[in-house]
Structure 1
Amino acid sequence: MALKKLFNGLQDEMSAMLKLSKYMSHPVDKGDNSEYCWIDWMRRYLPKRYSVDKATIIDSKGKESNQIDAVIYDRQYSYLAFNQNGRLYLPAESVYAVFEIKQTLNKQHIEYAASKVESVRALHRTSNPVVYSTGTQSAKKLHTILSGILTTDIGWKDGFGKALKKELKIHTGLFQIDCGCALNAGSFFYDSVKQSVIIGTAQESLVSFFLQLLSKLQAMGTVPAIDLNAYAKTLTMQTSKI
């Protein structure tokens, strides 16, 4: 099977899954179905070192983010998750990327996604040295958490043109949107340093987005090793002599 045909098959599969949302009359049902489709797709095709879930992010200082539609996070070095009445809480150190999931890519949803990622990037993250059998590796420098928006369609008449580029330039720093995929229209990856955007076509939107995402995740390496003592300080504990 040719690689291009395989990629096209994956796109058709995702398109069929998301198409069900169009026939759901209730907005919450539409949103839930879209979130499930994107999360399920990433779980199946991302390397197993990455986990994907809807979650709220917390830090060692007691702060928390808004609820995030899809979080790509690590299980090995920073896995410390709490499930409270069906709501998942993850430590900020474990996060690679966060995504907002909507039906349409437009100005309003870009702004909303930017506020969501800011609530995550503003959290405090720790980083501990990692002990191996051959020695100790110094604490990892904190990476920038990747942010994106995932939709089925795009609302701008010019597609991934001036309107999108204007929004990307406006949202900087903690509010920056790095990437996105509108399944029926295309995908984008934004380079704020070079002030350039890589655009994927409508026919290859999902695959071009996915390959760029994998490249960004590879460049991050692993997440920092969490300082569990920093989280333990929020507890009331006493030390006494024996």
Structure 2
Amino acid sequence: MNELFFALHDRLACELGITRRTVGHTGTMGTVSEGQWIKMLYEHLPKRYKVNRAFVIDSNGACSDQIDIVIHDRQYSPFVLNYGDALYVPAESVYAVFEVKQGMNAEQVEYASKKVASVRALHRTSIEIHTNVGKHPPKKPHDIIGGLLTVDSDWNPPFGAPFTSAINTTSKEGRLDIGCSAQQGMFEVTYTEPDSAAIDVQLTNAALALFLLRLIDRLRSIATVPAIDILAYAKGGIQTRQP
């Protein structure tokens, strides 16, 4: 089993490393890297999840920044809107959001934090769930997982005091929960009130594999997303014609 996960890490890390060395344009470089992360997550996460680059919207008409990676639900909040090349995912269906960059540094941590905050600020509906054994009360919306994924780190050491400072200075709405620097390791953060963060850093040669396992465990703890009130979106977004 260990050899399989090391092989998974090595394959994806090689692809991301080649991307950085051979693609010259910064914008294109980011796009290629996003595609690799999306492909890896889509292939290895349980099939109850979808993985896309998308905007996140709510029933009040608000919209997040464009998010590099959105992990969202297939079952209870299935509808997704397309407009041109852009994908719009309802806030209720979102489990996790990630920003993708080539190198991890304080600027990118802050940038990712703002992207995460733009999603968490959205309104989420929740209605009764109907099953073959009856009705279940509306589920309280869960905490959306936020994170940062990079090829490597601009810090040396990669997860030293500057990294800790960057994590601890994010806004409450933009807190980062988990992330990975593919060539160095991964991190996971547990927040306790009022403003204390316990940061677990793992320097490992199988960073991607460990990150994947930790992410799956976090997703498992959420269980299912709330059942979306689809008609709330219709009220705000569909105008009826007069006869």
Structure 1 stretches of at least 4 aligned residues deviating more than 3 Å after TM superposition: 237-240
Describe how 1:63-74 pairs up with structure 2 within 5 A: 63-74=62-73
Q: Find the counterpart in structure 2 of residue 20 from structure 1.
A: 18
Whole-Å Cα distance in 2 between the matches of residues 68 and 195 of structure 1? 24
Q: 2:209 aligns with which of 207, 210, 215?
A: 207
Instruction: Kindly indicate whether residue 6 of structure 2 is the aligned counterpart of residue 8 of structure 1.
Output: yes
The range that moved more, 159-168 or 39-48, is 159-168
For the residue of structure 2 that corresponds to 1:66, the secondary structure is: coil
C-alpha distance in 2 between matches for 1:216 and 1:238: 45
Aligned-residue identity in percent: 40
CA RMSD across the alignment: 1.5
How far did residue 201 of structure 1 move? Answer: 2.0
Partners of 1:155 and 1:16 in 2: how far apart?
A: 18
Q: Given residue 205 of structure 1, which amino acid in structure 2 is its aligned partner?
A: A
Decide which of 223, 229, 232 is 1:230's aligned counterpart: 232
Per-residue CA deviation, residues 7-43 of structure 1 (Å, 9 max, x unaligned), is 1000011012112212111112211110000000001
The one-letter amino acid paired with 1:111 is E
Partner AA of 1:106 in structure 2: N
- Residue 222 of structure 2 is aligned with which of 210, 220, 223? 220
Amino acid at match of 1:112: Y
Q: Does 1:135 align with 2:134?
A: yes
Amino acid at match of 1:76: Q
Distance 2:240 2:233 in 1: 12
Amino acid at match of 2:61: G
Structure 2 segments unaligned to the other structure (5+ residues): none
* 8 A Cα contact 1:146 1:178, kept in partner: yes
1:170-213 CA distance string (max 9 Å, x none): 11321101111000011000111263122222302111111110
In the comparison of the two structures, how many residue pairs are matched?
238
What code does the residue aligned with 2:223 have? G
Query: The residue matched to 1:25 in structure 2 has which SS?
Result: coil
- Aligned amino acid, residue 27 of structure 1: T
Normalised TM-score (structure 1):
0.95
- The residue matched to 2:24 in structure 1 has which SS? coil
Q: Gaps spanning 5+ residues in structure 1: where? A: none
3-state DSSP of counterpart to 2:115: helix
**Which one-letter code corresponds to 2:239 in the other structure?**
T
Given residue 186 of structure 1, which amino acid in structure 2 is its aligned partner? G
Moved more, 198-207 or 143-152: 198-207
Q: What is the alpha-carbon distance in structure 2 between the residues aligned to residue 34 and residue 195 of structure 1?
A: 29
Map of 2:191 onto structure 1: 192
Equivalent residue letter for 2:32: N
| Preserved contact between residue 183 and residue 202 of structure 1 (Cα < 8 Å) | no
Q: What is the letter of the counterpart of residue 236 of structure 1? A: Q
Using the TM superposition, give the Cα deviation of residue 135 of structure 1 relative to its aligned residue in structure 2, in angstroms: 0.5
Q: Which residue of 2 aligns with 1:165?
A: 164
Deviation string 1:83-136 (CA, Å, 9 cap, x unpaired) is 111110000000000000000010010010011011100000000110112110
2:94 is the alignment partner of 1:95: yes
Specify the alignment match of 1:181 in structure 2. 180
User: 3-state DSSP class of the match of 1:174?
Assistant: coil
User: Retained in 2: the 8 A contact 1:93–1:223?
Assistant: yes
Amino acid at match of 2:18: L
Cα separation, 1, equivalents of 2:197 and 2:173: 17
One-letter amino acid of the structure 2 residue matched with residue 225 of structure 1: A
Q: CA deviation at 1:238?
A: 8.1
